[in-house]
Homo-oligomer: A and B are copies of this chain.
Amino acid sequence: MKDQKELMNLPHKTIERLSQYRRALLICVDEGRTHIYSHEIAKIQHITPVQVRRDLMLIGYSGTLRKGYNISELINLIGTIIDSEKVTNVALVGVGNLGRALIKYFNGKRHKLYIAAGIDINPEKIGKDYYGIPCYGPEDMERIIKEKDIRIAILTVPVQNAVESAQRLVDAGIKGIVNYTNKPLNVPSGVYLEEYDMVTTLEKVAFYVKLGEMEKGKD
């Protein structure tokens, strides 16, 4: 395995792409393939083959000339880089429509990340299982985080509860948050935060579609 220094120096974009490469490679394994060329990975990811080779160079993986990369080896190597050694447990806070969609989508996809608990305020949900994941009440949050050694939380509560929930998660010792609520959060340094908003994605698409049409109209 690469040592810490090297991991730290990997570009952020490379980390993202490694995750995406693995996703694509896992699909290839399912299709029964054993090797893949850089230009094939590139096509799947909508990037250039050089970009792929450069990323793989950075993580020190070598393919075979004219044969490409060994898919399962590469999957394993990506695992040693981006995964922790032990399973990292995740809590999903707010077991609503989005939360359930995420649990269903995520669990089982990766070996080293596991949504180990749902947290919801709705009494009808507490005590139930959702796609095999037990749902607890907010009063148990701190305890469950400790007991299950949960490091990361996904936040899918209604927006008006976002700030309070995030604060409690941070206080309970969470080290990473993925925030899907409409409210940008502030967390202390030492807590890694990612936010995603589909409105931005859609607006970006709409902008470039508009630009494309203006371009065409010009002719």
Contact = CB atoms under 8 A, between A and B. Distances in A.
Given A20-B197, A23-B200, A201-B196, A82 B206 contact: yes
- List the number of copies, as a whole number: 2
A208 B192 contact: yes
A65 interface: no
Interface string A93-107: 000111011101110
A84 B192 contact: no
B106 A202 contact: yes
A50 interface: no
Contacts of A39: none
B209 A88 contact: yes
A109 interface: yes
Given A190-B212, A206-B82, A4 B218 contact: yes
A205 interface: yes
A194 interface: yes
Given A178-B198, A198-B102, A4 B206 contact: no
Contacts of A11: none
A9 to B, nearest CB: 11
A174 to B, nearest CB: 9
Contacts of A197: 20, 23
Interface residues of A, number: 69
Contacts of A194: 201, 204-205
A110 B198 CA distance: 12
A142 to B, nearest CB: 19
Interface of A: 4, 7-8, 12, 15-16, 19-20, 23-24, 27, 43-46, 82-84, 88, 90, 96-98, 100-102, 104-106, 109-110, 112-113, 151-152, 154, 175-178, 182-184, 186, 190, 192-194, 196-215, 218
7 closest A-B pairs by beta carbon, nearest first, are A97-B101, A176-B205, A98-B101, A176-B209, A19-B200, A19-B203, A192-B208
